[in-house]
Chain A
Amino acid sequence: MTNKFKAKISRRDLIKTTALTAAGATLAPFMGPWKYNRVWAADKPILIGLTHDASGQFANSGQAEKRGTIMAIDEANANGGVLGRKIEYIWADTETTPATGSRVAERLITRDEVAFMVGAIQSGVANAISQVCQKYGCVYFNTNSSSPTESGKNCHRVKFVWDGSGANFARAAASGAVTKFGKNWILLTNDYVWGHNTSKATQEILESLGGSVADNILVPVGTRDYSSILLKLQQAKPDVVATAVGGDDYKALRQQVQELQLDTKMAWLSNQLDWPDIYGAGAEAAFGVFAATWYHYLDLPGVDDFVKRYQERWPDTRMNVPGNVTYNGYVAMRELLRAIEEAGTTNNIKVIKTLEGRVMKADDRMQHHDAWIDENSHHVQQTIYLATRQDQPRDDSDYFKILQTMDPKEVANPGESACNLESYDDTPTYEM
């Protein structure tokens, strides 16, 4: 028995065991206990998932938005990061497709373990992403999709909506148009969630003002030829054509309206005109009356500096001035990073509570009125600008003439009462 025991512990084994014990004792402080791991985690970068389209109907807008979010991240990192941690991002193309949005969100959370998610242009994609985010508890910023349902029936506790909604824009534009042009309207509606809900909001407002909708022409997503629709409009002779058509569909519509010079023959009301949908087409393409949340020629503090910083950061981009889409991406990301810093943690519930009801000063946001995040719908209530084509452009980038500045309270959407946020208890805790 003794001999057997002796045979098992050779000199080589003894040396090996001693060496391993010594190594273990030396490394132990670095491997644990738990509190040391927490210290290590605090130095770990905060990873943010960017969900911006690079293909499909809103590819151009998605990339414009991405430039804004990355700018805000770069600036935060240049100022020492957030909570002493560097901000990193991982970007995925959501392809303007809701199914891709879901898949990307699932992957960013489960495989890449992002702490937060930011980005959306199309409402269907935003809705799909936010459902996945709510399932895990990951805070998600819908930066640019403006269907009223995003802050209405499709709202979520983890989701914050940064763009003005179609209902806000319709409120801003409709009353003036009824007075100026007439009460007989035709709606052109992109046949998906944003188009339907935006036109619905327009119709409600129009009818409340005594107007009526003669026809609601549905425009399937991917429509490139509007010749039949434009003939029909000419035959119907409405007072106003109110469009809720976006992305590439809008670009084709605009081009064909101009081709026929119908922009001067009837009154056009575009719910919102995104800068990437118009940039490069010239001021003459910005016909009709439309709404926007921001413009690079607003005479406000910080605007020129923001434009300059954008141009320095993106010297090679063809869109050489930022528009509303880039702006929304930028301010949304900047506010998220500030909220994390103020919350002192990346814990989702604490960050959400920091954001709810948050007031953002007009000067800081480069808008005319203070904005705030409605705590019941998570929708940013902000200044809406009514604009039309610039007839005296200051330079090649000056397309819009601002007609009116609307206070957020004037354009607030009562339909957001349909939002029923999940309770904090029903929202999983999420912290990376």
Chain B
Amino acid sequence: MDFLYNLLPHLVNGIALGLLFALIALGFMLIIGVMEVINLAHGSLFALGAYIALVIITPEGGLAMPFLENWFGIAIVPRYVAALILAPFVVAFVGMGLEFCLRRTYGKDPLYGLLLTFGAALVIEEAIRVIWGHGEYVLPIPKEIRGGFIHADLIWSTYRVYAAIFSIAMIGLLWLFIEKTPYGAIIKAGAHDSEMVRALGINLPKLRTLVFGFGTALAAIAGIIMAPIWGIRPQVGVDAVVPAFVVIVLGGIGSFWGAVIAGLMVGMVVGLTAAFFSDWSLLSMYLLLLAVVTFRARGLLGKASALEN
């Protein structure tokens, strides 16, 4: 009984962690699912989102912008909300620029796209170092989502609860967008039969640009949400891209619900191993991947992809 009592908080924590992993993987999933491009710059764009949010929220954000003096005088809540909206837009533009560079790789070996995005990841990370330096930044957040609360004799993080709820909301909104709107239908159609979409008069290059921008905006949102937990430093993107990749492969490339389920599984496995066999905590997600891929090569809910050709 004691064991179960001790286990329960870790199960709850695992679910919360899993939702964060799913959030990190959403943008990655969208781009790989719709465009069949493995965007290795996902982590760097995740980091860029956090840095831009930092600049919007605080004058200590590493860039001197005296013209924003009045802006920093207002309460932190509107600044934080503005960062959650504006930073993804800025990153989306960077993502769209990256997609422009990617165009020449379409229809070719996926390795070309992978190499290009890998190069872009290095460039973005180095640019962050040049602009913001090597140091650590802390993203200020409103006091309403700071601190902890006591439940069942344990202190829980208010921010984690907020981040988990935010993740559920993002997953829901993205699902609604893809499944229930005409734009989502066009995006899905573009992924499955691009010739037909083009024949219907839809501008496919523009569609791809927008999807890539949307995917990178999601990376930025994840970066902002994770910043108060992981901190902000130039190499923080590496911490994001690896689990994102694991989640996508585990869930099945291009599968929305596969990514969500895989995120939850990874969170649960990492959370439980960290609690009971902590030295295995990072390895556990790879072992999980290995176990699943051994029996289901395309991941949990994966289908045949152009990447297999």
- Which residues of A line the B interface, CB within 8 A? 54-56, 59-60, 62-63, 191, 217-220, 222-229, 231-232, 234-235, 248, 251-252, 255-256, 259-262, 265, 276-277, 279-282, 317-319
Contacts and interface: CB of A to CB of B under 8 A. Distances in A.
A318 B135 contact: yes
Interface in B106-144: 133-138
Nearest to A215: B278
Contact of A228 (B13, B133, B146, B229): B13
B274 A261 contact: no
Q: Which of B13, B136, B138 has the most CB of A within 10 A?
A: B136
B155 A234 contact: yes
Given A56-B235, A280-B138, 12 more contacts: A225-B270, A227-B13, A227-B274, A232-B10, A251-B231, A260-B148, A261-B147, A261-B148, A261-B155, A276-B136, A279-B136, A281-B136
Contacts of B228: 255, 259
B272 interface: yes
A262 B147 CA distance: 10
Interface in B250-287: 270-272, 274-275, 278-279, 281-283
Q: Which of B14, B135, B229 has the most CB of A within 10 A?
A: B135
Contacts of A235: 6, 9, 154
A231 B230 CA distance: 17
B159 interface: yes
Contacts of B59: none
A306 B117 CA distance: 44
Interface residues of B, number: 41
B4 to A, nearest CB: 13
A232 B191 CA distance: 45
B234 A59 contact: yes
Interface in B1-35: 6, 9-10, 13-14, 16-17
Given A218-B279, A256-B229, A280 B135 contact: yes
A89 B270 CA distance: 44
A231 B157 CA distance: 10
The 4 closest A-B CB pairs, nearest first, are: A228-B274, A218-B279, A228-B275, A220-B282
B119 to A, nearest CB: 16
Nearest to B20: A225
B235 A222 contact: no
20 contacts: A59-B134, A63-B134, A219-B278, A220-B278, A220-B279, A220-B282, A222-B239, A224-B229, A224-B239, A225-B274, A228-B270, A231-B10, A231-B154, A248-B235, A255-B138, A255-B231, A259-B228, A260-B157, A277-B136, A280-B137
A229 B234 CA distance: 25
B233 interface: yes
Contact of B9 (A63, A191, A231, A282): A231
B282 A223 contact: yes
Contacts of B282: 220, 222-223
B153 to A, nearest CB: 8
Contacts of B160: 227
Contacts of A55: 235
A255 B133 CA distance: 20
Given A222-B239, A260-B155, A227 B271 contact: yes
A224 B134 contact: no
A80 B156 CA distance: 60
Interface of B: 6, 9-10, 13-14, 16-17, 62, 133-138, 146-148, 154-157, 159-160, 228-231, 233-235, 239, 270-272, 274-275, 278-279, 281-283
A54 B126 CA distance: 11
Contacts of A281: 136, 138
A267 to B, nearest CB: 16
B136 A227 contact: no
Given A229-B275, A232-B275, A318-B62, A251 B281 contact: no
A229 B271 CA distance: 9
B155 A228 contact: no
A97 to B, nearest CB: 13
A261 B154 CA distance: 12
A113 B133 CA distance: 30
Given A60-B134, A220-B281, A235-B6, A265 B274 contact: no
B184 to A, nearest CB: 32
B275 A191 contact: no
A252 B270 CA distance: 16
A220 B13 contact: no
Contact of B133 (A218, A224, A232, A317): A317
A326 B138 CA distance: 22
A318 B278 CA distance: 35
Contacts of A252: 229-231
Contacts of B147: 259, 261
Contacts of B16: 227
A256 B138 CA distance: 12
